[in-house]
Structure 1
Amino acid sequence: MRLIKKYFGNTRKPDGVLGKLMVSGMNKAHAAVSDWGMEHLSSIHPTEIVELGCGGGRNAAQLLSRFPKAKLTALDYSEVSVEKTMRINWGNIQNGRCRVLQGDVSALPFAESSFDLATAFETVYFWPGPTESFREVWRVLRPGGIFLIVNESDGTNKDDEKWLGIIDGLHIFNKAQLSAFLKDAGFPKMTVDHDKSKHRLCIIAVK
């Protein structure tokens, strides 16, 4: 049990050898829900994207593929995640379409109105606040910009409660809670797709 807790503790901030295993696992385990979330972006054409909590870098690569005219900034506060994301996206880093930074979502190192699209896949469970962190996302988005949140846990599945005792700092929010945090952060409108059968959430908040 101790080893299991230590391994899954890397969900929050991957570190060391176990962290490297974790981010590789994230790329596979979260692929289906991430792709489902990206389907909700079919009608937009962003030019500047920020991928917050970039994990293993797979979603950054998918976003760059989906939006070939866009540039993307990937950010994570885990050094292991930054290194993995750089390896996965090295070609796009070389051609100037991607940059990868280590940083904190509660104090984003970007100017106001820098991005058209901000994404957060399977990560807001750990964000400080999270209203304060969402307010930072609002700040760096341009007017009309979109904040996409995709969660595989919707806060209604009792089977997910076991993770609360294994992963330190984990908070599983339901759609009402997330909507309230976003509204308090300044987002005036949002749409929610709640797949109750799979207990997953996709929220699009517009600045």
Structure 2
Amino acid sequence: MHRLLRAFFQNARKPDGAAGRVMLWAMNWGHASLAKWGRAHVSPEPDARVLDIGCGGGANLAQFLKLCPQGHVCGIDFSTESVASSLRKNAGAVAAGRCEVRQGDVSRLPYADGSFDLATAFETVYFWPDVPAAFAEVFRVLRPSGVFLIVNEESGDSRWCAIVDGMRTYAADTLTEWLHAAGFDDVKADIREDGALCLVAKKAPDSV
């Protein structure tokens, strides 16, 4: 692959600059169908507190703001370009105090224990350096009975892993094992014929 094209695709991991803005636009558009399929697996309450980890261009933040009209929706991403894009896309909700977006790392989520009813990760687990530790952090910030939604490709011969540095896909069984180890007691997987994977992990009502 041409060196410049390969460099552009690194923005899938951490969008940066003008190329990053193009990538974020492309992901908001190109991932819309998969994200819609994933969101159909959860039913947050109208007043739910939602955290989207790796919020990218902010498209899923916008959808959860619609699904939770009395709720509060937070996004976190380690790319400054992604944070800026998410803030622009959801400017009205940010101004109204219903949405906030922070730059941060899934391994050290800047939120107190039990802060959220729902946490989501759309096409981002690929890039987490320590997935089991990250799952433990997500478990920590969820309230008892909270739900963690993961949507991405299952492991296989993903050509993107050979193009994007640091990208890795995982089997549903592996992710399920790590979720149980983090404390989630109920994990359900849905795998489409095209390899798309959705995992819904629930925190027990009596968890702390």
Q: TM-score normalised by the shorter chain: which range applies?
A: over 0.9
Indicate yes or no: 2:171 matched with 1:174: yes
The aligned counterpart of 1:138 is: 139
The aligned counterpart of 1:200 is: 196
Q: Deviations over 1:126-167 (max 9, x none)?
A: 11210001100000000110000001x2113x3x1x222210
Q: Which runs of 5+ in 1 are unaligned?
A: none
Matching residue within 187, 190, 201 for 2:184: 187
Indicate yes or no: 2:160 matched with 1:163: yes
Higher helix share: 1
Could you list the structure 1 runs, at least 4 aligned residues long, displaced by more than 3 angstroms after superposition: none
Residue identity matched to 1:171: R
Return the TM-score normalized by structure 2: 0.94
The aligned counterpart of 1:31 is: 32
Distance 1:147 1:136 in 2: 11
The aligned counterpart of 2:206 is: none
What is the RMSD of the two structures over their aligned residues, measured on CA atoms? Answer: 1.0
Q: Which runs of 5+ in 2 are unaligned?
A: 204-208
Question: What count of residue pairs does the alignment treat as equivalent?
Answer: 201
Alpha-carbon offset, residue 67 of structure 1: 1.5
Q: Deviations over 1:14-49 (max 9, x none)?
A: 11111111111110010000000011113x315211
Residue identity matched to 1:154: E
Alpha-carbon offset, residue 53 of structure 1: 0.3
Residue identity matched to 2:119: A
Distance 1:164 1:27 in 2: 20
The aligned counterpart of 1:67 is: 68
Return the TM-score normalized by structure 1: 0.94
The 3-state SS of whatever aligns with 1:40 is coil
Distance 1:66 1:49 in 2: 10
The 3-state SS of whatever aligns with 1:107 is coil
Give % identity. 45
